[in-house]
Structure 1
Amino acid sequence: MNIAIVGTGYVGLVSGTCFAEMGVNVTCVDVNEEKIHSLLNGQIPIYEPGLDEMVLRNYQEGRLKFTTDLASCLDDVDIVFSAVGTPPDEDGSADLQYVLMVARTFGQYINKYTILVTKSTVPVGTAKKVKEVIKEELSKRGIDIPFDVASNPEFLKEGAAIKDFMSPDRVVVGVESDKAKELMSKLYRPFLLNNFRVIFTDIPSAEMIKYAANSMLATRISFMNDIANLCELVGADVNMVRKGIGSDSRIGSKFLYPGCGYGGSCFPKDVKALIKTAEKNGYSMGVLKAVEEVNENQKYVLFNKLYRYYNGELNGKAIALWGLAFKPETDDMREATALVTIKQLLDAGCIIKVYDPVAMNECKRKIGEAVIYATDMYDAVLDADALLILTEWKQFRLPSWGVVGKSMKKCLVIDGRNIYDAEEMKGNGFEYYCIGK
């Protein structure tokens, strides 16, 4: 089977490579010539564990190709996936210009029945707009070529994307014709054979499922952060509370970990977009507005704890940060708490030294030389007045506290991810503060 995937960002490249791994012939398309040139030379533009080897193997075996020209491959493919970016507009709604651009090119150059599948996260009603654009382009050409549109939202977690694609919780496919369902079933047959759930729905429901899923997860995180902040005020331990409510089978334990706020490319953008979709339809998403407000406030928690500890006298203080990415196993710093914390510390006159296993270059790209970049986690804490934990990388979980303690000017740790034991930290000679205790 031959398919094309437009967009070689996170979703497009991972999806295309995994489809190739399943035996599909995939052409990945991107208008960015530099990115395509890099891919043709074996350079992967994103960080995702295991992706480099898989891209190289499938490229060498001829199942994975790269081009800047969608028109050149349309005659050879049955399905085109649109995996281009949908960044938030100024008002929080999803910017669909790239999605509609793909639809326009599709309508300008198809010569046989083909399906255009939206893989990007898009608001409900986008498929209708895509269909109108394609029809408009076909009308300009004066021809009537049959086509279908479909929705196939992605549920890939950064850092575990290959596993998520190859062994999915579920695959959601929104279609509006039997022919489209038949072709999409053929594409996903390997998953059906392995008894993974492939759920076929109407297109608007498929579009809504992705937003609803991410918004629910964001809601659980903000709810626990709210509970954690109250626990601190009343003397409760949020870890005990989390275990207590997580043992309820109706609730479960996933995404009940308090911290210093969620970030990344999905949760913040999708919550905003769903709020905006509701507003455009005359409805107010009260719960999600509160979720967003709690999360924005939570990104100030670590700084506020540090500020209170030093009674506001932070000018000239040396602060070490462990972790920059919004989560482990990625270099993604979009909407990361680290960016908010760094700005607060700089405004307060602090000297900041940072370390992250993979996100250092991304941090330099975003903020330049505003901070000092450490060579390793121990270099970061040298002569520090405090250590702030922002990302729960595995290598941060069991550091040599003896080395850390001797290196720091003040043995103060403020843990934004609750990865250490308070009694153990006290026994190692540290003053320790975390979330919700």
Structure 2
Amino acid sequence: MRITMIGGGYVGLVSAACFAEFGIDVAVVEADPARLEALREGRIPIYEPGLDTLVAKNVAAGRLTFGDDITSAVRGSTAVFIAVGTPPRNGDGRADMTYVHTAARQIAHALDDYAVVVTKSTVPVGTSRRIAQIIREARPDVDFDVASNPEFLREGNAIGDFMRPDRVIIGLDTDHDPARAQEIMRTLYRPLYLIEAPIVFTSLESAELIKYASNSFLAMKISFINEMADLCDKVGANVHDLARGMGLDGRIGRKFLHPGPGYGGSCFPKDTLALSRIAQEAGAPSRLVEATVQVNEARKASMGSRIIAACGGSVAGRTIALLGLTFKPETDDMRESPSLPIVHRLAEAGATLRAFDPVGMEAARRVLPDGLEYCADALDAAQGADALVVLTEWNVFRALAPAALRERMSGNVVLDLRNVFEPAAMRAAGFAYHSIGRP
């Protein structure tokens, strides 16, 4: 079987490499010349653990190829996946469908035989039917079906999520006989039947909405536990005890009950905004999702002031060490990272900033103020610092000895916004230690 993946970004590249690992021939179409050149040279333009090895293995086996000619890639393919970006439009939060619609038009002109056109990108409800309309208007003679197959890939664990998924969602056009498309999609995911991964077939609209609803619900859990952490600070409770007590309830679950400075990344901020717009336009506004967006934005904006207050009300002329810059560990993604407003706030307040992130510093240089000093490691960042702030919960930071940090710092203020350190150990080392939701 041969398939085409239009888009060699995060979702497209991970999905293509994993399908190739299933034994399927995959042609990746990438329009960006620099990204395409990197892929052809064996350089992976994103950081994702294990992806470089998986890509190299399947390129060597001849199952994974990269190019920019959509016509040659699509011809002979049983399925054509659209995995292009759907960034939020400026000003209104709606998903920008420009790239998706362009891909649909290109597919229409390239199709030479029956294929299933599959949306892998996160798209608003109704997009798959709009894709079908675009193709039919351009090529009324061509035979095809459309499907919606949203991705649920966590950055830092994307390969594992694809190979061992909680579920695979496949939406089909139930207004017509979907048997042919369903069989092709079953065949593509046949290796997952061996591990009994749930393959859930739905309507197109349900599949499109499942993706937005899932991400928005998880974002809601994060915002909820962050508000509970603030309450714990006020009443003397411990947010980790609270989260454990809640998470052991099977109806709630333990995941995404970790307090911090707010959620970020490429999915949650974009998808919560998009779902809010979808719901408003459908006449069924989601007040919970709208509140989640507002709570998260306010939280990220407030973190800089919280740090300044812990430093005595001013950071002018003081040196602050920042541990972690990416929105989460095991990625170099800086999109919507809580570190962005925090760094800008501290820089505006006159602080000297020294930072270390295990893999995100190159990406950070493109979006953070020029005056930020990037350091060789965490202890280097702490050297001479008046205060230290943990922004991302990389495991390497958990292993830091409090005594080693105290020896290098000039001051003793630590703001642990990810709760990676033990409060008793930090106090014993002489720190004025501040964490989130812990007495």
Structure 2: distance between partners of 1:299 and 1:233:
19
Once the two structures are superposed, residues 358-381 of structure 1 have per-residue CA deviations (whole angstroms, 9 ceiling, x without a partner) of 000000122362311111111101
Once the two structures are superposed, residues 278-307 of structure 1 have per-residue CA deviations (whole angstroms, 9 ceiling, x without a partner) of 111123211111111111122144423322
Structure 1: distance between partners of 2:358 and 2:68:
32
Once the two structures are superposed, residues 139-176 of structure 1 have per-residue CA deviations (whole angstroms, 9 ceiling, x without a partner) of 4xxxx111111000000000000111111110100112
1:424 is paired with a residue whose SS is helix
2:414 is paired with a residue whose SS is strand
Structure 1: distance between partners of 2:75 and 2:68:
15
Unaligned runs of 5+ in 2: none
Determine whether 1:313 maps to 2:314: yes
* Aligned partners of 1:260 and 1:300 also within 8 Å: no
- 1:374 counterpart residue number: 375
Spell out the pairing of 1:93-132 with structure 2 (5 A cutoff): 93-132=94-133
* Alignment TM-score, normalising by the size of structure 2: 0.97
What one-letter code is carried by the residue in structure 2 that aligns with 1:288? V
What one-letter code is carried by the residue in structure 1 that aligns with 2:394? W
Unaligned runs of 5+ in 1: none
- 2:79 counterpart residue number: 79
Structure 2: distance between partners of 1:205 and 1:71:
31
- 1:364 counterpart residue number: 365
2:139 is paired with a residue whose SS is helix
* Aligned partners of 1:225 and 1:294 also within 8 Å: no
- 1:190 counterpart residue number: 191
- 2:417 counterpart residue number: 416
Structure 2: distance between partners of 1:375 and 1:193:
45
Structure 2: distance between partners of 1:252 and 1:73:
43
Over aligned residue pairs, what C-alpha RMSD do you find? 1.1
- 2:50 counterpart residue number: 50
What one-letter code is carried by the residue in structure 1 that aligns with 2:262? G
- 1:39 counterpart residue number: 39
* Aligned partners of 2:343 and 2:368 also within 8 Å: no
1:77 is paired with a residue whose SS is coil
Structure 2: distance between partners of 1:78 and 1:368:
47
* Aligned partners of 1:302 and 1:388 also within 8 Å: no
* Aligned partners of 1:82 and 1:102 also within 8 Å: yes
- 1:164 counterpart residue number: 161
Structure 1: distance between partners of 2:302 and 2:314:
17
Spell out the pairing of 1:2-401 with structure 2 (5 A cutoff): 2-90=2-90, 91-139=92-140, 144-176=141-173, 177-367=178-368, 369-401=370-402
Once the two structures are superposed, residues 310-332 of structure 1 have per-residue CA deviations (whole angstroms, 9 ceiling, x without a partner) of 34222111111000010000000
1:95 is paired with a residue whose SS is coil
What one-letter code is carried by the residue in structure 2 that aligns with 1:341? I
1:402 is paired with a residue whose SS is helix
Query: Residue 29 and residue 368 in structure 1: after superposition, are their counterparts in 2 closer, same or farther (change >3 A)?
Result: farther
Structure 2: distance between partners of 1:254 and 1:376:
30
Aligned residues: 433
* Aligned partners of 2:18 and 2:162 also within 8 Å: yes
Structure 1: distance between partners of 2:266 and 2:346:
24
Structure 1: distance between partners of 2:369 and 2:422:
34
Structure 1: distance between partners of 2:81 and 2:369:
35
2:121 is paired with a residue whose SS is coil
Structure 1: distance between partners of 2:211 and 2:73:
29
What one-letter code is carried by the residue in structure 1 that aligns with 2:41? N
1:232 is paired with a residue whose SS is helix
What one-letter code is carried by the residue in structure 1 that aligns with 2:318? K
Q: Give the 4+ runs in structure 1 shifted more than 3 A.
A: none
Determine whether 1:433 maps to 2:430: no
What one-letter code is carried by the residue in structure 2 that aligns with 1:356? D
What one-letter code is carried by the residue in structure 1 that aligns with 2:60? Q
